[in-house]
Amino acid sequence: MPHVSFSRGPRFMEPDRSEQEWITRCQRGDKEAFGFLVGRYMKQAYYVALGFVGSHDDALDLSQEAFARAFKAIGRFEPGRRFYTWYYQILKNLCLNFVRARKKRPIVSCALAEDVDGREPREPVSTDPLPDAQCEAAELRQNLWQALWDLDPEDRALIVARDMLDTSYRMLAELMECPQGTVMSRLYYAGRRLRECMERRMG
């Protein structure tokens, strides 16, 4: 296995001109070059899959499988396209097939961090009970997270991408292959459906 060192750059990286060079090398069968592409987009891929499927193990498995399929199909990659946009279609379809084939609903609470920085609290900072407002906010977050799983997977992935992963409208439009106005409109209707699910859950 070729050794690849990954940069620890920002989670959502924009492609640059050198990406095409990496892809050309991949198309010649260079696995090390593909390793660099994997290193560049693995976090994005993992979190996008997590938005679709909701569990760490499945998100890891599906995002890795999508990369393997992308490598297999890289010979058909059209020059001038962005790798991530192309890869996203493979990942999205894998995730949707997975969600549709899954009979049971996932254990949805496990993917959500207990604090807003996304850190797992390893030990309690204080033994005092949480202030009421914090408790309420945490409960609201859990309720909303549960309500997200009543939504269609594509609606959920869109809300997760925009609100939780801070993906720009420009990027979303590129990934969804539609104008930014359409993304806004889909997000608006997804938000409305989420609100309705939330209202149903809270009675």
Partner 1 sequence: MTELNEREVTLLMKALDGALTDAERVEFEQLLSASSTLRDEWQSLKRVKEVTMTMKFKRPAEETWDHYWAGVYARIERGLAWLLISIGAAIFLAVGIYQMVLSLLEDVATPLYLKIGVGAVALGFAILVVSVLREKWNTWKTDKYKEVKR
The Cα angle at residue 118 between residues 113 and 119, in degrees rounded to 5: 90
Asked if 16 interacts with partner 1 (CB under 8 A), we say: no
| 108 counts as binding partner 1 under rule CB under 8 A | no
Touching partner 1, residues 50-79 (CB under 8 A)? 50, 56, 60, 64-65, 67-73, 76
**DSSP 3-state of 80:** coil
- Nearest residue to 105 (alpha-carbon basis) of 151, 155, 63: 151
20 vs 180, which CB is nearer to partner 1?
180
Contact by Cβ (8 Å): 65, 52: no
If the CB atoms of residues 17 and 150 are measured against partner 1, the closer one turns out to be 150
Sole window of 18-26, 31-39, 124-132, 170-178 interacting with partner 1 (rule: CB under 8 A): 31-39
Contact 147, 201 (CB under 8 A): yes
Name the minimum Å distance from CB 197 to partner 1: 10
Which of 130, 137, 178, 202 touches partner 1 (CB under 8 A)? 137
Query: With binding defined as CB under 8 A, does residue 123 bind partner 1?
Result: no
Nearest to 22 by CA among 64, 72, 74: 74
Under 8 Å between Cβ of 62 and 98 = yes
Binding of residue 134 to partner 1 (CB under 8 A): no
